[in-house]
Amino acid sequence: MSIDFLGSKIMRGNEFPIIGTRVKGLNKKFDLSDPRSRSLYFRSKVGTQIDLIKKYLDNNTFIGYFVGKKNSGKGTYSGLLTEIFGKDKIELFSVGDMIRRVYENWKDFSKSERFEKLKSLYRGYISFDEAVDALLGRSTKKLLPTEFILAMVKLHISELPRKSILIDGLPRGMDQVSYSLYFRDVINYRDDPDFFILIDIPTAVISERIKHRVICPICHTSRNKKLLITSKIEQDKKSKGYYLVCDNPTCENVRMVPKEGDELGIEPIKARLQKDEETIKLILSLHGVPRILLRNSIPVSQAKVNFDGYELTPEYGFQMDHISGKVKVIEKPWTFKDDNDVLSHSLLAPPVVVSFIKQLPEVLGL
C-alpha cells in the first residue's frame, strides 16, 4: 500500500522518498568540503527552513532517534546539523560511546556521586550489582539489560544543559523499540516533540566505506581512499601503492593507515546489519511517532533531475605524473548496484542533511 509523504508516493518498507535539492535558477557550484562554501550551500538550498527552525530552537527543543545501519553516517549528519544550528542548540548523544566511557573509567566512576545517582535511577528485572557485572564482563550469564542502559541515559541527559538531542544507539534492537516509544516520558525530559530519523543506505556503500577506510594514527580522523580523500596523496616507494596524508596541520603530514580487518568489508558485521535492517522495518510500521526518512543513494536515472552533480559522491583513483613527480588524482562519478539491483549514485552528506532540514518543520508542526 502506498502512502503520500511530503508530496512523494512511496511504499511501506525500504523504499524511501526522493527529496531533491535542486533550486531553479541556482547554477553556482559549491565546494562541500569547505565550511564557508558549505554554509552558503545550505543557505541557498534551505535558507527559509533554517530560519524557521532556528526561531523554534530559540525557545524549544526536540528529541530525535537516529536509526540506521552501522556506518550509515549518523555522526556525520549530526556534525553538519550542529554546524548549521550551533552546538549550544543540538547535541548528538551516542549511547554506545557513553557505555564505553563508563566502562573504561569504572574505577573512578564507581567512587563518584554519579554512581550513587545511577543506582537510584535503576529499576530492572535483575539486581543493580548483576547489571554492573554484565557491564564489566564479569558475568557471561547476563546481558546488559535495557533498563540499566536507560538509567545511564537518564543520568547523562540530566547533566546536559537545555538543548535538542539526537540519540544514536536507541533503539538498538527489536526489544528496545517499545521503550523508545515512551522514552520521553521515561526520562522525564521535558515535553519535547520526539521523532525517528531513519537512514536507508545500500549494503554496497557500507562495504566500500569500510574496505577503503583509513585513519590518522595521531588525531584518529577517518577518510576513504576511494570515496573521501585528503588534499595530499603520496606514493609508497617500495610497493608503488598510494596513501593519504592527514590534513590536520598538527599531525605533521602523517600517513593515514587502514584499520585491521577493514579489508573484509561487511563480512564481520553482517549479523549486526541484518539486525539493524529488522529494526528499521519495524519502526516503519509504527503509528503515532513522526519519522524523517533519509536516503543515501539515488538511482542514476533520477540523479540529474533532482540533484546537482557536485552533490554526488565521486570515486577517486591515482596516477603518478613522472614529469612533475606528483600524484595525479583522477575523479569520476561513482556508480554501484543498490540492494534492489538498481544502478545508483551515493549522495554526499550535505544533500542528505538538506533532506532532513526540509522535513523537520513539518515534523515539529511549524
How far is Cα 351 from Cα 30, in angstroms, rounded to an integer?
12
Q: What is the pLDDT of residue 186?
A: 55
List beta partners, residue 196. Answer: 65, 291
Is the Cα dihedral 100, 104, 108, 111 positive or negative?
Answer: positive
With 0-12 CB in 10 A as exposed, 13-18 as middle and 19+ as buried, what is 183?
buried
Q: What is the pLDDT of residue 272?
A: 83
- Contact call for residues 204 and 336 (beta carbons, < 8 A): yes
List the pLDDT tens digit at each of the 366 positions of the chain.
233 333 333 333 346 889 999 998 898 999 998 889 999 999 999 999 999 999 999 999 998 988 888 888 888 898 899 999 998 999 888 888 888 888 888 989 999 999 999 999 888 888 999 888 888 886 556 668 888 888 888 888 888 888 898 988 776 665 666 666 656 655 555 678 889 899 999 999 999 999 999 999 998 888 899 998 988 999 988 899 999 999 888 888 899 999 888 888 888 888 888 888 888 888 887 777 889 999 999 999 999 999 999 999 999 999 998 888 889 999 999 999 998 899 999 999 999 999 999 999 999 998
- Contact call for residues 181 and 286 (beta carbons, < 8 A): yes
Q: What single-letter DSSP state applies at residue 205?
A: H
- Contact call for residues 334 and 315 (beta carbons, < 8 A): yes
- Contact call for residues 196 and 289 (beta carbons, < 8 A): yes
- Contact call for residues 154 and 145 (beta carbons, < 8 A): no
Backbone angles phi, psi at 350, to 5 degrees: -55, -45
Q: What is the pLDDT of residue 345?
A: 96
CB-based contacts of 206, cutoff 8 Å, min separation 6: 69, 70, 71, 72, 266, 273
With 0-12 CB in 10 A as exposed, 13-18 as middle and 19+ as buried, what is 192?
middle
Backbone angles phi, psi at 174, to 5 degrees: -60, -40
Q: What is the pLDDT of residue 116?
A: 92
* Single pTM value for the model: 0.84
Q: What is the pLDDT of residue 6?
A: 34
How far is Cα 200 from Cα 293, in angstroms, rounded to an integer?
8
Domain spans of the chain, in order of start = 2-89+163-364
Pick from 342, 274, 314, 312: which is nearest to 15 by CA?
A: 342
Q: What is the pLDDT of residue 184?
A: 62
- Contact call for residues 318 and 330 (beta carbons, < 8 A): yes
Apex 254 CA angle, 252 and 256, nearest 5: 145
